[in-house]
Homo-oligomer: A and B are copies of this chain.
Amino acid sequence: MLIVMKSGATPGEIDGVVQAIERLGFRAHVMPGATRTAVGITGNPGTLDPVRFEHLAGVSEAIRVTKPYKLITLDLQPDQTVVRVGDATIGGPELAIIAGPCAVESREQTFAVAEAVRASGARFLRGGAFKPRSSPYDFAGLGEEGLRILAEARETFGLKIVTEALDEAGVDLVEKYADMIQVGARNMQNFSLLRRVGKSKLPVLLKRGIAATIDEWLLAAEYVMSEGNYQVVLCERGVRTFTQHARNMLDLAAIPVIRRISHLPIVVDASHAAGKSALVRPLARAGVAAGANGVMVEVHNNPDAALCDAAQALTPEEYLTMVNEMRGIHRLLSEGVSA
On A, residues with C-beta under 8 Å from B are: 42, 68-69, 132-137, 166-170, 186-187, 189-193, 209-211, 213-216, 219, 222-223, 226, 239-246, 249-257, 260, 273-274, 278-279, 282-283, 285-291, 320-321, 323-325, 327-329, 332-333, 337-339
* A239, B243: Cα distance in complex, Å: 9
- The answer to whether A249 and B249 touch across the interface, beta carbons within 8 angstroms, is yes
- Assess whether B289 is in contact with A273, with CB atoms less than 8 Å apart: no
Whether the pair B253, A249 counts as a contact (CB closer than 8 A) is yes
| A330 CB, min distance to chain B CBs, angstroms | 11
A133, B220: Cα distance in complex, Å: 10
Q: Which residues of B contact A219 (CB under 8 A)?
A: 134-136
Q: Which of B192, B252, B278 contacts A256 (CB 8 A)?
A: B278
Select from chain B the residue with minimum beta-carbon distance to A217.
B134
With A and B bound together, what is the CA distance between A133 and B133 in angstroms? 25
Question: Which residues from B are CB-within-8-Å of A278?
Answer: 256, 260
- A338 / chain B contacts, CB cutoff of 8 Å: 324
Bound complex: CA A329 to CA B321 (Å): 15
Contact status A243-B214, CB under 8 Å: yes
- Give the one of A186, A239, A242 with max B CB within 10 A: A242
B242 and A211 contact, CB distance less than 8 A: yes
Contacts of A290 in B (CB 8 A): 282-283, 285-286
A268 to chain B, nearest CB (A): 10
User: Which B residues are in CB contact (< 8 Å) with A189?
Assistant: 132, 134, 186-187
28 CB contacts below 8 A, A to B, read A42-B136, A68-B135, A69-B135, A132-B189, A136-B191, A137-B226, A167-B167, A167-B168, A167-B190, A167-B192, A211-B211, A213-B244, A214-B245, A241-B249, A243-B251, A246-B251, A250-B252, A250-B253, A252-B252, A252-B286, A256-B282, A260-B278, A282-B290, A285-B289, A288-B289, A321-B337, A325-B332, A325-B333
Given contacts A253-B283, A324-B338, A327-B337, 13 further A-B contacts (CB under 8 A): A132-B189, A134-B216, A166-B191, A167-B190, A169-B192, A186-B191, A241-B241, A257-B279, A282-B291, A289-B289, A323-B339, A325-B337, A327-B339
8 tightest Cβ-Cβ pairs between the two chains A and B: A211-B211, A289-B289, A246-B253, A167-B192, A186-B189, A286-B286, A285-B289, A286-B290
> A289 to B278, alpha carbons, bound, how many Å?
14
List residues of chain B with CB within 8 A of the CB of A328: 332, 337
Chain B residues with CB under 8 Å of A209's CB are 210
What residues of chain B lie closer than 8 Å to A274, measured between beta carbons? 253
Q: How far is the CA of A36 from the CA of B254 in the complex (A)?
A: 45
Chain B residue contacts of A257, Cβ below 8 A? 245-246, 279
